[in-house]
């Protein structure tokens, strides 16, 4: 005998848990299937940066709303999530980097975001610990950071309290279609009948899309992270690098988190040898990040590194996520491809997805993130007037469903 569910969410990361929470708040009890444990992948291994600065302009409305949500998230979730809103410094060490940042700052100011470029002396006023190499930085005072484990866990716990169901240690292996529509989700343990399924599987988002015959231009990007021992509070800002190669913060606990893709060292790339593409040398990434930390904050030089790990980022070809419905497979909802900066917009995405699912009417338009952009180009016109991302209303919002009635 198979179970039934109003909606199955694949993936218990921040996106799956937040969506389940906002749905449950409105009375729709989702079934979340997670192959490991809550926050087992990106949401349980990221840096916790919550930023608007240096974001893709299309993501700005989401990021700005997300900041507003983070400000009161502890009340919403009934637990401390270690949110610190003391700004984001993106440090520059040479003129080229200054240039990149200045341009980005100008563009972002145009969206209404309050941020500015600082010269070295101004940076020192905010953060007296930066090293000699720093010649300037962008500073966005409303940015900050948060404990990602607690946020994900908080959404999970609250969603569960409100009636959402979570099956952990269970992986989705197949999605069954009938006449092109979603009719069931099959896991390694059971069959669950449903006509709505949300793909919030992070890095596995592509594989899940493949299950219904769709594909995404997504590839995994390797990212390394390290954590130091505890230290009395030194600085509260989220730290970034102009080119995004390296970032970090001091956590509420006192330890420092640092992460990066290749650090800032050139030698990390295997030089263009015959037939070689210049991939990073993975075993040098950690030491290279360490070098960058010492360059940027010499005061940390004698601090102990106690743990390292790495994570995979769901990198889209255009570095923005895929959200919403598609007319190609009615009943299939995208919420994946956050390209390494999804945590900061986790709460707002959860909220918007819930609004989309309940009402086909997200309060912030999400058509810039629609699946159709890969076929029809980024500027194509969405068929759904409500900007619910390429929806053919009648086909996919089955009469707004009758969920709210029988709850």
Ligand X SMILES: Cc1cc2nc3c(=O)[nH]c(=O)nc-3n(C[C@H](O)[C@H](O)[C@H](O)COP(=O)(O)OP(=O)(O)OC[C@H]3O[C@@H](n4cnc5c(N)ncnc54)[C@H](O)[C@@H]3O)c2cc1C
Binding region for other proteins (CB under 8 A):
36-40, 44, 149-150, 153, 156-157, 160, 166, 168-169, 227-229, 253, 286-287, 290-291, 293-294, 300-309
Phi, psi angles (nearest 5°) of residue 395 = -75, -35
Which span sits near ligand X by CB under 6 A: 27-35, 119-127, 271-279, 288-296?
27-35
- For the sheet with 88-92, list strands across it: 116-119, 136-140, 88-92, 238-241, 246-250, 255-260, 218-230
Minimum distance from CB of 385 to ligand X (Å)?
28
**CA 367 to mean position of chain CA atoms:** 18
With binding defined as CB under 6 A, does residue 340 bind ligand X?
A: yes
Between 18 and 397, name the residue whose CB sits nearer to ligand X. Answer: 18
Residue 237, binding choice from other proteins, ligand X, none, Cβ under 5 to 8 Å by partner class: none
Q: Which of 5, 7, 31, 43 binds ligand X (CB under 6 A)?
A: 43
Between 308 and 364, name the residue whose CB sits nearer to other proteins. Answer: 308
With binding defined as CB under 6 A, does residue 286 bind ligand X?
A: no
189 sits in which H/E element: none
With binding defined as CB under 6 A, does residue 323 bind ligand X?
A: no
Residues 156-185, interacting with ligand X (CB under 6 A)? 171-172
Residue 253, binding choice from ligand X, other proteins, none, Cβ under 5 to 8 Å by partner class: other proteins
256 sits in which H/E element: strand 255-260
Residue 308, binding choice from ligand X, other proteins, none, Cβ under 5 to 8 Å by partner class: other proteins
For residues 176 and 191, what is the distance between their CA atoms, to the nearest angstrom?
A: 10
With binding defined as CB under 6 A, does residue 313 bind ligand X?
A: yes
Q: CB under 8 Å to 209, separation ≥6 — which residues?
A: 199, 215, 216, 334, 336
CA nearest to 374, candidates 216, 218, 220: 216
Between 39 and 47, name the residue whose CB sits nearer to other proteins. Answer: 39
DSSP letter assigned to residue 330: T
For residues 301 and 290, what is the distance between their CA atoms, to the nearest angstrom?
A: 9
Minimum distance from CB of 298 to other proteins (Å)?
10
For residues 143 and 271, what is the distance between their CA atoms, to the nearest angstrom?
A: 37
For residues 194 and 185, what is the distance between their CA atoms, to the nearest angstrom?
A: 7
Tell me if 125 sits within 8 A of 177, measured CB to CB: no
Minimum distance from CB of 381 to ligand X (Å)?
27
Q: Which of 252, 342, 347, 362 binds ligand X (CB under 6 A)?
A: 342
Q: Which of 2, 4, 36, 270 binds ligand X (CB under 6 A)?
A: 36
Residue 157, binding choice from other proteins, ligand X, none, Cβ under 5 to 8 Å by partner class: other proteins
Tell me if 93 sits within 8 A of 183, measured CB to CB: no
Residues 190-249, interacting with ligand X (CB under 6 A)? 200-204, 223, 225
Residue 338, binding choice from ligand X, other proteins, none, Cβ under 5 to 8 Å by partner class: ligand X
Minimum distance from CB of 115 to other proteins (Å)?
30
With binding defined as CB under 6 A, does residue 45 bind ligand X?
A: yes
Residue 166, binding choice from ligand X, other proteins, none, Cβ under 5 to 8 Å by partner class: other proteins
Tell me the two tokens of residue 350. Answer: 């959860």
Residue 22, binding choice from ligand X, other proteins, none, Cβ under 5 to 8 Å by partner class: none
Q: Which of 20, 29, 31, 46 binds ligand X (CB under 6 A)?
A: 46
Q: What ranges make up the beta strands (E) of 85-149?
A: 88-92, 116-119, 136-140, 144-145
Residue in this structure with the two tokens 């800002």, named with its chain if needed: 237
Q: How many CB atoms lie within 10 A of CB 366?
A: 28
Q: CB under 8 Å to 348, separation ≥6 — which residues?
A: 62, 63, 65, 66, 69, 364
Residue 304, binding choice from ligand X, other proteins, none, Cβ under 5 to 8 Å by partner class: other proteins
User: Can you give the length of the chain in residues?
Assistant: 407
Minimum distance from CB of 281 to other proteins (Å)?
13
Tell me the two tokens of residue 100. Answer: 């990149």
Tell me the two tokens of residue 65. Answer: 């709303």
For residues 385 and 378, what is the distance between their CA atoms, to the nearest angstrom?
A: 17
With binding defined as CB under 6 A, does residue 42 bind ligand X?
A: yes
**CA 369 to mean position of chain CA atoms:** 14
Residue 16, binding choice from ligand X, other proteins, none, Cβ under 5 to 8 Å by partner class: ligand X
Q: Which residues of the shown chain bind ligand X in the complex (CB under 6 A)?
A: 10-16, 33-36, 40-43, 45-49, 171-172, 200-204, 223, 225, 259, 311-313, 336, 338, 340-344
């Amino acid at each position: 005998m198979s179970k039934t569910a109003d909606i199955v969410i694949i993936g218990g990361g921040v996106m799956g848990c937040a969506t389940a929470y906002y749905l449950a708040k409105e009375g729709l009890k989702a079934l979340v299937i997670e192959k490991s444990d809550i926050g087992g992948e990106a949401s349980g291994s990221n840096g916790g940066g919550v930023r608007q600065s240096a974001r893709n302009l299309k993501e700005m409305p989401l990021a700005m709303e997300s900041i507003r949500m983070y400000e009161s998230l502890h009340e919403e979730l009934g637990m401390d999530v270690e949110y610190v809103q003391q700004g984001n410094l993106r440090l520059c060490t040479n003129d080229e980097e200054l240039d990149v940042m200045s341009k980005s700052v100008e563009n972002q100011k145009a969206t209404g975001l309050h941020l500015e470029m600082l010269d070295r002396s101004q940076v020192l006023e905010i953060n007296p610990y930066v090293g000699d190499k720093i010649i300037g930085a962008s500073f966005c005072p409303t940015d900050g950071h948060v404990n990602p484990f607690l946020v994900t866990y908080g959404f999970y716990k609250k969603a569960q309290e409100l009636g959402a169901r979570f099956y952990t240690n269970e992986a989705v292996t197949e999605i069954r279609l009938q006449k092109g529509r979603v009719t069931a989700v099959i896991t390694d343990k059971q069959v669950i009948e449903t006509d709505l399924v949300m793909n919030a599987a992070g890095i596995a988002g592509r594989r899940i899309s493949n299950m219904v015959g769709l594909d995404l231009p997504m590839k995994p990007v390797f990212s390394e992270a390290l954590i130091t021992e505890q230290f009395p509070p030194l600085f509260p800002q989220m730290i970034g690098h102009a080119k995004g190669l390296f970032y970090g913060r001091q956590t509420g606990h006192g330890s420092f988190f640092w992460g990066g893709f290749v650090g800032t060292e050139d030698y990390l790339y295997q030089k263009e040898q015959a037939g070689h593409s210049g991939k990073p040398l993975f075993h040098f990434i950690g030491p290279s990040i360490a070098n960058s930390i010492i360059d940027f904050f010499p005061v940390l030089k004698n601090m102990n590194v106690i743990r390292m790990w790495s994570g995979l980022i769901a990198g889209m070809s255009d570095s923005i996520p895929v959200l919403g419905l598609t007319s190609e497979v009615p009943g299939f909802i995208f919420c994946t491809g956050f390209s390494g900066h999804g945590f900061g917009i986790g709460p707002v995405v959860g909220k918007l997805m819930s609004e989309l699912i309940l009402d086909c009417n997200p309060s912030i338009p999400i058509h810039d993130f629609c699946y159709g952009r890969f076929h029809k180009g980024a500027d194509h016109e969405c068929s759904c007037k409500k900007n619910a991302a390429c929806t053919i209303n009648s086909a996919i919002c089955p009469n707004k469903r009758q969920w709210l009635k029988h709850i």
